[in-house]
Amino acid sequence: MVATTLWLAIALRFGDAFPQYEQASLRVAVFVAALLLGFYYSDLYGGRAPKSVTDLILRIIKSFLAAGVFLSLIYYAAPDLALGRGILLIYPPAALAILITWRVSYYWALQRESFVENVLILGTGSAAEALARELLLHRKEGYRLVGLLGQDDSEVGRSVLNTTVVGTFEDLLTTSERLNVHSVVVALEEQRGKLPLADLLTCKLRGVAVAQGADFYEVVTGQLPVRNLRPSSLIFAPGFRKPRFFNTTRRVAEFLVALVGLIITLPVIAIAAILIWLEDGSPIFFKQERVGELGKSFMLYKLRTMRRDAEKAGAVWASAGGDPRVTRMGRIFRKTRVDELPQLYNVLRGDMSFVGPRPERPCFVDELAALIPYYGERHSVKPGITGWAQVRYGYSSTVEESEVKLRYDLFYIKNMNLWLDLQIAMDTFKVILFGRGAR
């Protein structure tokens, strides 16, 4: 729609001279790429679902404004690619009208009965409650939780979060038909001898999707539910593969990019070093022991953002409300992620990757491993400068927040591939651009 509308605007502007319009395809491609990039950075492709139609329209308008900034930079560097003022007068109003109509129609359709996916959960325990909570949070994305099924009549009618137990396992067929269920999700802590296998098979043959709770939770949230995850779910699940070719090519690419990145950012690091020294003296760089791949320790390097005596009383968690130990320049460096640049040296050394779980300190690793199931599994891959948990959640300052980040980390380890790495890299630029998650 973006491209077609632009071609029509060019044809309307030039009429019979349209075929002679120079570099038309290249100009259109550049313009469309800039606008789609604006859509991406306005969270119109995944990420946060719009809260309302007004929020959706504001995001579309913001996308056009962001595209204007991108195009200004491109046209400054390559003036020959610029579109004429006449085209730019015709195009934005027409494109805005078409795109707002399309997006609002799509948003409206997702709320209609014929497009909503009705989900019935088999179970009423902690696994079922965790899944129910996420489905309720994602209802604007097309999911509707119609209820839960318990094991006996005593549970029927009981309220669970914002829904109820609508029947028992024996009622699976009649309930799924009565409530027009599209997906049945099995979310039981213990399944042996409890599952209504014959009725689940009948549902499957009737076209109703049947899924394991952990698998459905992963699809909806982009996380793995560590508290309700059985070892067999990890052992027999697809994923967790690390092909040798992928690892080798990734390492070579990371080495080259880190080397070039260090050379390019050296002036930025030098300026930051001078500012740190002027404000709080030396040392300029901060090094700290972290736990890496297979539990091996390494020294992580950053630009110092805290006072020199920040940990005279020992290691402490990062503060959720703004750490008073952070210096004035440190706040700026953390906001812009400039303090992370020396970690390119860690990537060169092979201690870290660009993408992976963030490395934690040994003292915190021991504490968290004792409290959170599967915490040690995050060390099965190299830690990263950025990661799925960083772009989807941010920093953690409590055990509970560390558990949420682990759920994201395990999702990444299970599904890691080139395209996911590229998505995380793009999202990282978005996080830096809008200053999300910095502390």
List pLDDT tens digits, range 234-279.
887 788 888 888 889 999 999 999 999 999 999 999 999 999 999 9
Residues 191 and 256 in one domain: no
Q: For residue 173, what is the domain's CATH number?
A: 3.40.50.720
Q: Which residues pair with 286 in a beta bridge?
A: 302
For residue range 180-199, list pLDDT tens digits in order. Answer: 999 999 998 776 667 899 99
Return the residue matching tokens 């002036």: 267
How many whole angstroms separate alpha carbon 97 and alpha carbon 323? 46
Share of the chain above pLDDT 70, in %: 93
Q: State if pTM tops 0.95.
A: no
Q: With respect to residue 129, please indicate whether it lies within any of the assigned structural domains.
A: yes
Predicted pLDDT at 12:
85
Q: Name the helix (H) or strand (E) containing 37.
A: helix 24-41
Domain span at 291: 244-311+321-434
The tokens of 26 are what?
Answer: 């290249």
Q: With respect to residue 363, please indicate whether it lies within any of the assigned structural domains.
A: yes
Q: With respect to residue 101, please indicate whether it lies within any of the assigned structural domains.
A: yes
Residues 290 and 214 in one domain: no
Nearest Cα residue to 334 out of 347, 345, 323: 323
CB atoms within 10 A of CB 177: 12
**Lowest mean pLDDT across 49-53, 185-189, 421-425:** 49-53
Residues 328 and 390 in one domain: yes
Q: What domain count does the chain have?
A: 3
| Interval 212-234 mean pLDDT | 88
One-letter amino acid for residue 33 of the chain: A
| Interval 133-150 mean pLDDT | 88
Residue 67 has pLDDT above 70, yes or no: yes
Residues 291 and 206 in one domain: no
Mean pLDDT of the chain: 88
Predicted pLDDT at 47:
62
Residues 299 and 423 in one domain: yes
Q: With respect to residue 233, please indicate whether it lies within any of the assigned structural domains.
A: no
Predicted pLDDT at 315:
62
Residue 399 has pLDDT above 60, yes or no: yes
For residue range 280-333, list pLDDT tens digits in order. Answer: 888 999 999 999 999 999 999 999 998 877 666 666 666 555 677 889 998 899
Q: Domain boundary residue among 110, 130, 146?
A: 110
Residues 43 and 146 in one domain: no
